[in-house]
Amino acid sequence: MREITIPIGDDVIRSLKVGDPVALSGVMVTGRDTVHKWLIETFIKQTRPAQGDDLQVYEALKPLLKGGVIYHCGPVVSGLDTKQYKFVAAGPTTSIREEPYQSDVMKHFDIKGVIGKGGMGAKTLKGCQEVPGVYFHAIGGAATFIAQSVTKVLGVYKLDFGVPESLWVIEVKDFPAVVTMDAHGQSLHEVVEEQSGKVLAELLAK
C-alpha cells in the first residue's frame, strides 16, 4: 500500500502505475455532474456569466484543486442544521458521467487525481498523460467504510446545488483506492472493455 499525501507532485504521479493500491491523506474536494458542468460553462468555456458567489468560490477552489484531488461522490451528511457537518456515507459515484468535462477541468485547475468508480474514457486518459494525473478507483458498496477515512469536513461550497452535488472540502486519512488509469496511457478499464468486447463477439458468432 503506497501512502500518498495531497497535494501530489508530478514526480509522485508519474511513479504510479495501474494496479498500485494507495492510501490518500490530505484535503480533497467532492464534485459530480452539476459541479463539472458549472465549472466548464462558467470558467473554462465561459458560455454563461458568473452569478452570485461564483467568482468567490472559484478563487477558493483554485488553491484546493492545484495538485489536488476531486472525488466523484454524493455524500450522506449529518449536521446540516447545526453546520457541524459529518460524513455518514461517502461512496464513489460512477465516473463516466464526467467524461465530457473531466480532462478540461483537470487541465484548468492542475488536478492530479480523480477518484470514482468504474473508470473513464479516452479523453480523460489523454488528460492524465498531459496534466499529468491519475484515476483512483474507490470501492463501490463501501460508503460507510470510506466515510471513516474522512476525519473532518472543512467546508462546503454551492450548497444550493443540493447536498450530493455540492463541493464538499474534506480532510482524509488513509483513504483507500487503486490506480486504474495512470499518466503513461495505461487503463485497466480499457483492457477490461477490450476483453469483454472479444468475449461478446465470440458469443455472438456462435
Count of C-beta atoms within a 10 Å radius of residue 172? 25
Active site residue 36: yes
Please state, in angstroms and rounded to a whole number, the distance separating the CA atoms of residues 128 and 113.
9
| Catalytic annotation, pick one of 36, 72, 137, 189 | 36
For residue 11, give the C-alpha cell: 514526480
Cβ–Cβ under 8 Å, residues 36 and 102: yes
Closest CA to 75 of 6, 146, 134: 146
The residue among 69, 88, 192 whose CA lies nearest residue 131 is 69
What's the CA gap between 23 and 165, in Å, rounded?
25
Query: What is the rounded distance in angstroms from the CA atom of residue 171 to the CA atom of residue 173?
Result: 7
Q: Taken in order 117, 122, 123, 128, is the CA torsion positive or negative?
A: positive
**Whole-number Å distance between alpha carbons of 202 and 81:** 56
Dist CA 63 CA 83 (whole Å):
23
Q: For the purposes of burial, counting CB atoms within 10 Å of the CB of 94, is it exposed (0-12), middle (13-18) or buried (19 or more)?
A: middle
Q: Which amino acids are annotated catalytic?
A: 36
